[in-house]
Amino acid sequence: MNPLQLVLKNQKEIDVIQLAVSHLDEILVLQQKVIASLTTDAFLQPLTKEEFLYILNGKGMMIGAYCEGQLIAFRAMLEPKVDEEGHLGIDAGVPTAGLSAVIYSEISNVHSQFRGNNLQVLLGEILIREVNRQRFRYVCTTVAPFNIASLKDKFAHGMEIVALKVKYGDLLRYVLMKDLVQNLQENPTQSYEILMSDTAQQQRYLQDGWRGTAMKQIENQWVVHFVKK
């Protein structure tokens, strides 16, 4: 991608570039800073050095935002192995022949001093624009229920909840997908709202072909908006 120069809400200027292996040390330092700034690690899934190298060596794409020469945010997409156990494309109902057209929306980190500038969403928009439509049709990811910030980010990019199941051993996760060719949200014929805490009912609706496309808070409870064609 070509480098971009942008101005944030706080009026700071940033440069957004594609990251390479030469940026690995900066990436690891920022990830540690983000981990140290968190009050809970319930939703954190940091990547290892080897996982970053896998992406940086051509199995995906990672972009970073620099302010005054310092890496202050990064976001990545990963090209999964087609024969990988637990492939998100399978969870999303993508035919086996189409699994090579799936790319994952992966980790994103923002320095604590730059939160509130919509950087996570901004970098996500840039990455999705850069996806090679000749190779990839589906963008998939997982998010924990009640990880409200991450869910807001995914919905902002038009991603849809397509499954709710146990992943990564014993962790309950939403599986979200964005079809770069078709958009279910354009012409839904039915809609329904379900409490985010009601796992069983959400799973029944998802298994019946409904998809979660938004959420809102009602009297201190989060509900998910489901639609179906």
Q: Which residues contact 26 (CB under 8 A, 6 or more apart)?
A: 64, 71
Give the mean model confidence (pLDDT) for residues 213-225: 96
> Could you tell me which CATH number the domain at 4-182 has?
3.40.630.30
Which one, of 36, 102, 30, lies nearest residue 66 by Cα? 30
In the numeric block, which tokens belong to residue 158? 């038009």
**pLDDT tens, residue by residue, 176-203:** 999 998 765 566 789 999 999 999 999 9
Q: What is the mean pLDDT of the chain?
A: 92
Residue 155 has phi, psi (to 5 degrees) of -65, -35
Supply the DSSP symbol for 171: E
pLDDT at 9: 87
- CA separation for the pair 31, 48 (Å, rounded): 10
Helices 148-156/119-130 angle, 10° precision: 40
- CA separation for the pair 222, 219 (Å, rounded): 8
Residue 38 binned pLDDT confidence (cut-offs 50, 70, 90): confident
Give the mean model confidence (pLDDT) for residues 80-90: 88
pLDDT at 165: 96
Residue 187 has phi, psi (to 5 degrees) of -140, 60
**pLDDT tens, residue by residue, 114-129:** 999 999 999 999 999 9
Q: Is the pTM of this model over 0.75?
A: yes
Domain boundaries defined on the chain: 4-182, 184-229
Which one, of 60, 63, 56, 68, lies nearest residue 22 by Cα? 56
**pLDDT tens, residue by residue, 123-163:** 999 999 999 999 999 999 999 999 998 999 999 999 999 99
